[in-house]
Amino acid sequence: MTTIDELFPSPYLTAADVKDKPIVTIKGFSKKTMKNKQGEEEVKPVLFFNEFEKGMVLNKTNANAIVKMYGKILDEWVGERVQLHSVTVAAFGESTDAIRVVDHKPAADKQTLLDRFSKLYERAVTAKVDGVEDYTITPNMLEHEIIELGKELKAKVEAAEAF
């Protein structure tokens, strides 16, 4: 059966696109000119994810949820993961479905942690961090152990890159 969304596709993510509560990785952001409810043009931030071609218009509520998790600097959001979901909200005098960012970091699976650690390790080698060879992951390491090792190494990488 054809839906109204198929007849009139949105260039941006809609609540219907996130019904299954996806965990997505932030790819970047830009500013786009679009029309508001009054038909006036305004510039809005749009967030892009690796998992979707369309971007999500970033409202203040979702921005604040991401700030709570990853800080105020948008460039530092790139590569971070968030979970999206659909809620019904009151807006402009009517009920409508909207996208919301879950306001806590999604749990990382082991492969994601290994990938992130690998990138961090490469940065450590490039930055010539002393003792980088001591930061190795064994096959039986638990997720929380990888996270703790990564935090230690990240501090050393950031210190080395600061000089």
Residues 13 and 92 placed together within one structural domain of the fold: yes
Q: If we measure between CA atoms, which residue out of 47, 105, 34, 42 comes closest to residue 74?
A: 47
- For residues 99 and 54, is the Cβ–Cβ distance under 8 A? no
How much is the average pLDDT of 58-77?
96
Domain final position from 52, 71, 101: 101
Residues 94 and 130 placed together within one structural domain of the fold: no
Number of domains in the chain: 2
* pLDDT recorded at residue 143: 84
Residues 94 and 133 placed together within one structural domain of the fold: no
Stronger pLDDT, 9 or 13, i.e. the higher one: 13
Q: Residue 123 sits in which domain range? A: 110-162
* pLDDT recorded at residue 57: 97
Residues 44 and 82 placed together within one structural domain of the fold: yes
How much is the average pLDDT of 45-73?
96
Model confidence at 152: pLDDT above 80: yes
Residues 62 and 88 placed together within one structural domain of the fold: yes
**Counting beta carbons within 10 angstroms of the beta carbon of residue 52, is it exposed (0 to 12), middle (13 to 18) or buried (19 or more)?**
middle
Model confidence at 92: pLDDT above 80: no
